[in-house]
Amino acid sequence: MLDTRKENILKLIVEEYIKNIRPVGSKSICDTLNVSSATIRNEMMALENEGYLEKTHTSSGRVPSEKGYRYYVDNIMKPKDITGEDMLKLQTIFNNNQLALSNTIEKSLSIISEMTNYTAVVLENKGVNDDLKEVSILPISEEKVVALVVTSSGHVENKTIDIKNTNLDDVKKIVELINKLIVGTPINEVSSKLEFEIKPIIGQYIMNYEMVYSAFYNAFNDFKDNKDEVIIKGRDKILQLPEFNNVNDLKKVITALDEDKIKHLKEESEDINIYIGKENELDENLSVIKTKIGDSTLAIVGPKRMDYDFVVGLMEYIKNNIER
C-alpha cells in the first residue's frame, strides 16, 4: 500500500489526466497539496519507479500507468453520485412499467453512452432459461416451410426448412410429435430429447423422415448456440476520443468493437468489475466496466483514462433501480 501523500498525488494525477488528457506536472500538485515542488518531484519519481506513473516523451509531466489506474480503482476511487438531471433521465425509463427488462437495460445503456461518450454494450441471453412452448410451421412454397419456435417467455425464432421430396402432411406429423412429447422442455435440452425420444419413434409414423428430422434438430441447435444477442450503443463515440486519432490505434479500436469480439465480454459476476488495458478481452488501449443483471451483461467500453468513478456510479444506480 502507498502512504497517504503518495495516494493523494496519484489521485490528483489520475483525475487531472482523465479530465484534461495532458501529462501532469508537479506545479499543479504543489498548489493543491501545499507541499514544496522538490518534495512532489521526489514523490512522483518514486511513484514512477514503483510503476504507478509513466513519463511521456513530450513533457516533463507524468501520466498514470495501468498499475496506477488499478491502484486508483481498487484503493482510492469512490463511485460518484449522479446529478438530479441524470437521475431524471434514467427514472423516466425505470418508471415505464410497459418496458420489458431487456428494453429497460438497453435504454439505460443508451443514456450512459450519451452521458459519457463511451460505447455501451448489452449482451442478452435470450431464451437461455426458457422452456419450449410451441413449434409451428408456415408453408412458403411447395418445397420450403418456415418453422417457428416459441419459448415460455414469448421469444420467437424462425428457421426456413427445405422439404423437397417430403410430404407436407409428414412434416406436420413431426411437429405434432414435438408439441405432444417435448413441449415444456428447457430449450437447452430439446436437441437431446429430439435425438433420444422423438427419433426412435418417428419412423413408425413417417417414411423418409431423416431430412426433415435433421432440419428440425439443426434448427433447435442453432437456437441454443445463437442465444446471445449483442446490442451496441455509441460505437462511434469512442472513435472520436483524442487518444484514438492515430490511424493504427483507430483501426485497432474498430476491430475491438467488432460484434464477434464483443460477445466475449459476457460477465458471470453480479459485481461491477473493472478491466483495465491488458486485463480486458478487447484491446490494451481500452478499459471495460461490466456487470450482470439477470441473464444480461452490461458493459461500458472506454479509454484507459475512463471516468471510472462516474461510470461506476451510473451503473450502481441502474443496478439498484432495475433489481429492486
What is the chain's pLDDT, residue by residue, as a tens digit (324 residues)? 999 999 999 999 999 999 999 999 888 899 889 899 899 999 999 999 999 999 877 667 899 999 999 999 999 999 999 888 888 888 888 887 766 677 788 888 888 899 999 999 988 766 556 788 888 888 888 888 888 888 877 777 777 888 777 788 888 888 888 888 888 888 778 888 888 888 888 877 777 777 778 877 877 776 666 566 788 999 889 888 998 888 888 888 988 988 888 888 888 889 999 999 999 989 999 999 999 988 788 999 999 999 999 999 999 998 888 866
Label residues 28-60 b or e (16+ Cβ within 10 Å = b). ebbeeeebeeeebeebbeebeeeebbeeeeeee
Calculate the alpha carbon distances from 21 to 6, 13, 107, 243, 301 in Å: 21, 10, 29, 8, 18
- Write the DSSP symbol of residue 76: I
pLDDT at res. 119: 94
Q: Which of 222, 157, 209, 149 is nearest to 185 (CA)?
A: 149
* 4 and 12 Cβ atoms separated by less than 8 Å: no
Fold (topology level) of 4-76: Arc Repressor Mutant, subunit A (1.10.10)
Distance of CA 83 to the CA centre of its chain: 25
Question: For residues 16 and 191, what is the distance between their CA atoms, to the nearest angstrom?
Answer: 55
Residue 253: Cβ-neighbour burial (10 angstroms; 0-12, 13-18, 19+): buried
Calculate the alpha carbon distances from 9 to 18, 41, 80, 295, 307 in Å: 14, 10, 20, 40, 18
pLDDT at res. 225: 60
pLDDT at res. 224: 64
pLDDT at res. 271: 94
Domain positions in the chain = 4-76, 84-126+228-322, 132-225
Q: What is the CATH number of domain 132-225?
A: 3.30.390.10
Q: Which of 210, 104, 212 is nearest to 160 (CA)?
A: 212
* 227 and 126 Cβ atoms separated by less than 8 Å: yes
Question: For residues 99 and 181, what is the distance between their CA atoms, to the nearest angstrom?
Answer: 34
* 155 and 228 Cβ atoms separated by less than 8 Å: no
408456415: which residue's cell?
A: 138
pLDDT at res. 129: 66
Query: Would the pTM of this model clear 0.75, i.e. be above it?
Result: no
Question: For residues 226 and 292, what is the distance between their CA atoms, to the nearest angstrom?
Answer: 19
- Coil, strand, or helix at residue 119? strand
Q: What is the CATH number of domain 84-126+228-322?
A: 3.30.450.40
pLDDT at res. 145: 86
Fold: same for 4-76 and 84-126+228-322: no
Question: For residues 78 and 91, what is the distance between their CA atoms, to the nearest angstrom?
Answer: 23
